[in-house]
Amino acid sequence: MLLRHTPKEVHERTALTVNPAKTCQPIGAMYAALGIHRCLPHSHGSQGCYAYHRSTLTRHYKEPVMAATSAFTEGASVFGGQANLLQAISNIFTVYEPEVIAVHTTCLSETIGDDIPQIVAKARDEGKIPSGRYVIHANTPSYVGSHVTGFASMVKGMVDYLAASNGHKENRINLIPGYVEPCDMEEIKRLAGELGVPVIMFPDTSNVLNGPQTGKFHIYPDGGTKVEELIAAGSSIGTVALGPLASGPAARALDTKCKVPCEILNLPIGLRSTDTFIDTLRRIAGVTVPESINIERGRLVDVITDMHQYFYHRKVALAGDPDQLVALTEFLVDLDMWPIHIVTGTPGKKFEKRIKEITREVPHPVNVRATGDLFLLHQWLKSEPVDLLLGNTYMKYIARDEDIPLVRFGFPILDRIGHSYFPTVGYRGGLRLLEKILDTLLDRQDRDAPEESFELVM
């Protein structure tokens, strides 16, 4: 009901966010950590924070998410959490036997100022970290950034703590997939396999958060990047990072630390960005694109051609993560759709500039805002309605109030399934995305059609 009182008049707000278009850094850090084989994420803060992070991931992926916490009480909140973390590290390795503990901080431990590297060093000196086991960390207070920057910080932590050069270059490429679904990571690996390119992907949540039902519970699923692969990433011939915000920091850190050159690309969502991804792998590895990939591309082009009239000049509003929105906006423009309202909750003026570049030939004014929120997006929609919304589950309230069809895309999606099993990256993912958009538009067309226009065929 509250959304129905959203006013059309936009007043600039600097100290108030209403219905944020993001969630907090530790969620992204926890998700990244789950992409390491036999890794237990650890939340250095209170039990309430860690419960929220776990529950959000569990609700999105419909899979149990395992993690640990330092369980701050009043004493730790005043005097610091070193004792809690030292005890936690000892208990976790003794009871749960992970290969890696991935510590991320919360608002509370960051405000106190706990020095995680110093605490980890103390734990190792005291013999609390067994030989051949590792503790890595990322600083992820919720009062800055978003789940995307939290993901980026933890992936960079993997490089800082684990990657090492063996002195010569191995014939393989590192792939940093960005903040995408487990099925998207699987699809990115499949495309590299079709090209015949050996890769190390990190992190890799495929078969971790979209694994099969076997009737048995395993605290550490079969998936995830192994520690030895993370170490070996420092000896690859190159790194391809997908998504500048989520993957760029780790790729640059690996270049600085181990002299592994990197190329930072858009997420391979849609035709153009997937072409760039495939061509980059081809060029670095020195291989030829096989006919199987050309066929996949041709099918996507065929559907775009056949269905173009249904996309043409449809106005779209989007909200989500910067890396996803940049690639998605480019795809929509290539379809001759008009993305005219675009909001992300993640800070960064580069995002606004990039969106303006992509939409410069759209013959309609384009609103774009980094550090925006869904309240602002709703205000824009009241002044300039659109034909389609793309965004996460929280967009459903705007969709209902304004009677605009919604395609669920991004994070979190709490009220539907399929997003962790059916990729939206690559050429096959592009087909899936087109199907979702087209079905939604045609369902609305059927709903609104008078009887004389209610056709059996498109």
* pLDDT at res. 74: 83
Q: Does pLDDT of 1 surpass 90?
A: no
Q: What are 421's two structure tokens?
A: 């099993």
Instruction: Scan for tokens 């930072």, then name that residue.
Output: 264
Are 207 and 272 within 8 A, CB to CB? no
Classify domain 25-153 at the CATH superfamily level: Nitrogenase molybdenum iron protein domain (3.40.50.1980)
Report which of 276, 290, 298, 326 is spatially closest to residue 431, judged by C-alpha positions.
298
DSSP 373: B
Backbone phi, psi, residue 269, to 5°: -105, 120
Instruction: Compute the Cα dihedral for 311, 317, 323, 326 and give only its sign.
Output: positive
| C-alpha span between 9 and 456 (Å, rounded) | 42
Give the tens place of pLDDT for each residue, 354-371: 999 999 999 999 999 999
H or E element at residue 354: helix 349-358
* pLDDT at res. 2: 57
Q: Matching CATH topology for 25-153 and 296-452? A: yes
| C-alpha span between 99 and 303 (Å, rounded) | 46
Q: What is the pTM of this model?
A: 0.96
| C-alpha span between 275 and 419 (Å, rounded) | 23
Domain boundaries, the chain: 25-153, 170-292, 296-452
Q: Does pLDDT of 305 surpass 60?
A: yes
Radius of gyration, CA atoms only, the chain:
23
Cis peptide before 198 (omega within 30 of 0): no
Average pLDDT, the chain: 95
H or E element at residue 407: strand 406-408
Read off the pLDDT band of 77 (50, 70, 90).
confident
| C-alpha span between 24 and 203 (Å, rounded) | 19
CATH architecture of the domain 170-292 equals 3-Layer(aba) Sandwich (3.40)
Classify domain 296-452 at the CATH superfamily level: Nitrogenase molybdenum iron protein domain (3.40.50.1980)
Are 247 and 155 within 8 A, CB to CB? yes
Give the tens place of pLDDT for each residue, 369-405: 999 999 999 999 999 999 999 999 999 999 999 999 9
